[in-house]
Amino acid sequence: MTAAPAVPLPAVSAEASTGHLQLDALTKQFTSRSGTVTAVDAVTLDVKPGEFITLLGPSGCGKTTTLRMVAGFEDATGGRILLDDKVIDDIPPQRRPMAMVFQSYALFPHMTVAENISYGLRLQKRTKEEIATSMRMALTSMNLVGLEERSPHELSGGQQQRVALARALVVQPKVLLFDEPLSNLDAKLRDAMRAEIRRIQKMFGITSIYVTHDQDEAMSMSDRIVVMNKGKVEQVATPGEIYARPASVFVADFIGRANFIEAVPENITDGRATVSVLGRQMTVPTHPKVAAGSVGAYLMVRPETAALTPVTDGGNGIGVVLRSTFHGPSIDYEVETTGGTITVTEAGRDPQDALSEGTNVDLAFDPERAYLLTRE
């Protein structure tokens, strides 16, 4: 699928361009015979109008429950939800100025594309002229012109997803909610739809909350990412900040790949610590919770920020290549060292020139791209 070309659209109304969403200590507990489980634990979040926020985390971390409370499908046990500074906790889902795009598309099988898209407008009792104008805009912006009379079963997965997105956008919600909308698509189509959703979201300027467990989706689409774990928020930051300066070992390990090397900070000055790593001393950026002399700190090193140099003439290196794996644009090496097995990613090398197993190597880390974290 190719992305639809950008087309000029009517300006979104001033009311629709709002959408300041705030979660204030939002909590959800479920009670069963085995006891009480806290699925969402005092989540506080401030989403700016027009911002694209992704809730990211493993299964069971509370991200979908949080989204369902925002939509009104789940009642909160504690805390508040505010939209444009007004508490909306008691407003039923059908009256909240929001729209949701579901994982299963949730299209009506007995309706045509046009009928599916216009369903929300008809519920709002819009005039025929308003419906026709909004339909033309939605069909054009979603590259669905010519498919109006088709049934959902006659569409591809990508086309069904665009119909679901058009149905959500056409009512001009203040907040657009996405519940893992791309998980049913194949990898190539999923990549195309990521770009499509982000383009449309920016075009309309609608505040958006996106739930996924896919790190690539979160990194490529979001203004900010909310990393969740066991019902709590671990970190809220831009994709670049989360990748380079994670707030915890959990975040560093969940976002992308990382090596963790035990290190003891010898001194800390202005947010930088001196550490000895694999027999070499370096000064690295440090998380504020790391204390000088503390035991149990980890130096996070991303695989692509490390470099290998083969040791020749019988010299001894820092490590030995255990295996190499070719990935097309890059090669991954697993290197055995006194500090454990370290993964190094090397881009651009011809696979025929890959370092062989058993090669003695020196390892070099970029200290500015490493980060010292506490174990907890």
Q: What is the pLDDT of residues 87-127, one digit of tens each?
A: 999 999 989 999 988 877 788 899 999 888 888 888 888 88
Helix (H, G, I), strand (E, B) or coil at 125: coil
Per DSSP bridges, beta strands 175-179 and 207-212 are parallel
Domain coverage including residue 231: 21-244
Q: Looking at residue 324, which CATH number applies to its domain?
A: 2.40.50.140
Q: Does residue 153 fall inside a structural domain?
A: yes
Most confident of 24-28, 179-183, 275-279: 24-28
- Residues 311 and 223 reside in one and the same domain: no
Q: Considering its fold, how many domains does the chain have in total?
A: 2
- Residues 101 and 205 reside in one and the same domain: yes
Q: Does residue 12 fall inside a structural domain?
A: no
- Domain end, chosen from 244, 270, 291, is at 244
Inform me whether the pLDDT recorded for 170 exceeds 60.
yes
Exposure letters 270-295 (e unless 16+ CB within 10 A, then b): eebbbbebbeeebbbbbbeebeeeee
Distance (Å, whole) CA 38 – CA 232:
10
Asked if 354 and 324 count as a contact pair (C-beta separation under 8 A), the reply is yes
Q: Tell me the pLDDT band of 257, cut-offs 50, 70 and 90.
A: very high
Q: Which strands make up the sheet holding 280-285, listed edge to edge? A: 267-269, 272-277, 280-285
Q: Does residue 302 fall inside a structural domain?
A: yes
- Domain end, chosen from 191, 215, 244, is at 244
Q: Does residue 312 fall inside a structural domain?
A: yes
Q: Token pair of 40, please?
A: 């969402």
pLDDT tens string 128-141: 888 888 888 888 87
Distance (Å, whole) CA 167 – CA 169:
6
Q: Looking at residue 181, which CATH number applies to its domain?
A: 3.40.50.300
- Domain end, chosen from 244, 268, 294, is at 244
pLDDT tens string 24-82: 999 999 998 888 999 999 999 999 999 999 999 999 999 999 999 999 999 999 999 99
Quote the pTM value: 0.87
User: What is the number of other CB atoms lying within 10 angstroms of the CB of residue 52?
Assistant: 21
Distance (Å, whole) CA 111 – CA 143:
19
- Residues 236 and 317 reside in one and the same domain: no
- Residues 266 and 232 reside in one and the same domain: no
